[in-house]
């Protein structure tokens, strides 16, 4: 009897936890078969008691091990069916990092904030009035073509009613001047749009930080000094600047500013095309027409303005040669800026 039960137990199977439990009840519970054998133990002749006792104990041990193993098997199988594998180790989750353009934009904001500039912003979908007209672009002025504009709504009779994607954040200057009187000292960071083919050197959108300062007796010297301080803080204390005459409808005189190439220290390298200089921004004295159109008395006040591309500064600072990298969200590129965060 003991032998046949032992053979039976060794071949037990269960396909789920309930079946395993049923087996436990059948063999191992109080009213189970093994306990029933124990009850018969009394009738075993004395000289065989020792041998039979050992065998029953062995049987009980085997039954417990077998049934426990079946139960564990069934439980593991069931959690795996639910798609949860409790045996897998936890994996580390990488933290995100700031985008390089955000890092550099914040740095530009920091530098100008320390010089007393405060932040101003405005809409990306703008009217012609603020992007062009108040910035002294005449209705038929060819300078409107300087910035390849995306039109949202075109008005046949009145171009100033056109709705556009702003092509520079000078529109924020116009909005700020309309509602404030000097002294004005603002910077306006933001995204701007231009209808250009996407290449390594151009994109249909980029980011700008423009600055505006208006007060009594503001001179070109003030502008130059502020820009020199900026260049030195951004690119290093021994950075030199030079201003070249240029043209913008909203400033007169206008200039473009170069910095001595910080990679070769101005000696000339492939990066600055062996000139020792790289262009970083446009600037000038605010045209009196702009002040008048925005409600500021140009006989009392004067001012300067400047505007730079955040992509350009980032390219120079981190030697990124392809603009498209900034909007591809390739984590291999973004991870390179972890230490700059």
Q: With contacts defined by CB under 6 A, how many residues of the chain interact with ligand PHE?
A: 11
- Does the footprint of ligand PHE cover residue 190 (CB under 6 A)? no
What distance in Å separates the CA atoms of residue 223 and residue 287, rounded to the nearest whole number? 14
- In the complex with ligand PHE, the residue whose CB is nearer, 266 or 307, is 307
Which residue has the closest beta carbon to ligand PHE? 307
Closest contact distance (angstroms) between CB of 138 and ligand PHE is 16
Looking at the chain, which runs of residues are DSSP E strands? 118-119, 125-127, 150-153, 163-165, 184-193, 205-215, 241-248, 251-260, 277-286, 302-309
CA dihedral sign of residues 22, 27, 29, 33:
positive
What are the tokens at 226? 């502020």
- Residue selected from 126, 127, 128, 210 as contacting ligand PHE according to rule CB under 6 A: 210
Cβ contacts of residue 145 below 8 Å, gap of 6+?
none
> Which CB, 63 or 209, lies closer to ligand PHE?
209
Nearer to ligand PHE, 59 or 111 (CB): 111
336 is in an annotated binding site: no
Window 274 to 303, contacts with ligand PHE (CB under 6 A): 282-284
Query: How many angstroms separate the Cα of 86 from the Cα of each of 10, 71, 89?
Result: 29, 17, 8
Task: Work out how close the CB of 250 gets to ligand PHE at its nearest, in angstroms, rounded to a whole number.
Answer: 6
* Shortest CB 169 distance to ligand PHE, Å: 7
DSSP labels, 49-83: HHHHHHHHHHHHHHHHHHHHHHHHHHHHHHHHHTT
CB of 282 to ligand PHE, least distance (A): 3
Contact call for residues 246 and 254 (beta carbons, < 8 A): yes
Site string for ligand PHE, 232-261 (x = CB under 6 A): ----------------x--x----------
Under DSSP, the state recorded for 154 is: -
Smallest distance, ligand PHE to C-beta of residue 131, A: 10
Q: Which is nearer to ligand PHE, 60 or 168 (CB)?
A: 168
Pairwise CA distance, residues 293 & 185, whole Å: 18
CB of residue 212 to ligand PHE, shortest distance in Å? 8
Among candidate residues 27, 35, 29, 25, the one with its CA nearest the CA of residue 10: 27
- Binding-site string for ligand PHE from residue 157 to residue 176, where x marks contact by CB under 6 A and - marks none: -----------x-x------
d(Cα 252, Cα 245) in Å, to the nearest integer?
A: 10
Q: Which of 100, 190, 249, 307 binds ligand PHE (CB under 6 A)?
A: 307
Binding residues: 252
Residues that bind ligand PHE (CB under 6 A): 168, 170, 210, 248, 251, 282-284, 305-307
Binding residues for Mg(2+): 252
């Amino acid at each position: 009897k003991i032998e046949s039960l032992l053979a039976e137990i060794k071949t037990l199977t269960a396909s789920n936890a309930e079946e395993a439990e049923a087996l436990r009840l059948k063999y191992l519970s109080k009213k189970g078969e093994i306990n029933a054998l124990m009850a018969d133990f009394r009738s075993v002749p004395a000289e065989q008691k020792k041998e039979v006792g050992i065998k029953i104990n062995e049987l009980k041990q085997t039954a417990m091990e077998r049934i426990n193993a079946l139960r564990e098997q069934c439980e593991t199988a069931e959690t795996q069916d639910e798609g949860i594998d409790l045996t897998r180790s936890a994996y580390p989750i990488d933290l995100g990092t700031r985008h390089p353009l955000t890092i550099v934009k914040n740095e530009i904001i920091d530098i100008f904030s320390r010089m007393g500039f405060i932040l101003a912003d405005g809409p990306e979908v703008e009217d012609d009035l603020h992007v062009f007209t108040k910035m002294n672009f005449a209705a038929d002025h060819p300078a409107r073509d300087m910035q390849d504009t995306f039109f949202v709504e075109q008005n046949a009779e009145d171009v100033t009613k056109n709705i556009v994607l702003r092509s520079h954040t000078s529109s924020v200057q116009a909005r700020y001047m309309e509602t404030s009187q000097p002294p004005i000292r603002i910077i306006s960071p933001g995204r701007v749009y231009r209808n250009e083919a996407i290449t390594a050197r151009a994109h249909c959108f980029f980011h700008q930080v423009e600055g505006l300062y208006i007060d009594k007796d503001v001179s070109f010297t003030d502008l130059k000094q502020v820009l020199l301080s900026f260049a030195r803080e951004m690119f290093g204390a021994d950075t030199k600047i030079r201003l070249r005459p240029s043209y913008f409808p909203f400033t007169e005189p206008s200039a473009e500013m170069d910095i001595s190439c910080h990679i070769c220290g101005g000696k000339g390298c492939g990066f600055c095309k062996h000139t020792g200089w790289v262009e970083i921004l446009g600037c000038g004295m605010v045209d009196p027409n702009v002040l008048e159109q925005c409600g500021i008395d140009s006989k009392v006040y004067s001012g300067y303005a400047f505007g730079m591309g955040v992509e350009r500064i980032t390219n120079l600072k981190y030697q990124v040669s392809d603009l498209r990298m900034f909007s591809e969200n390739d984590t291999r590129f973004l991870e390179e800026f972890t230490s700059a965060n």
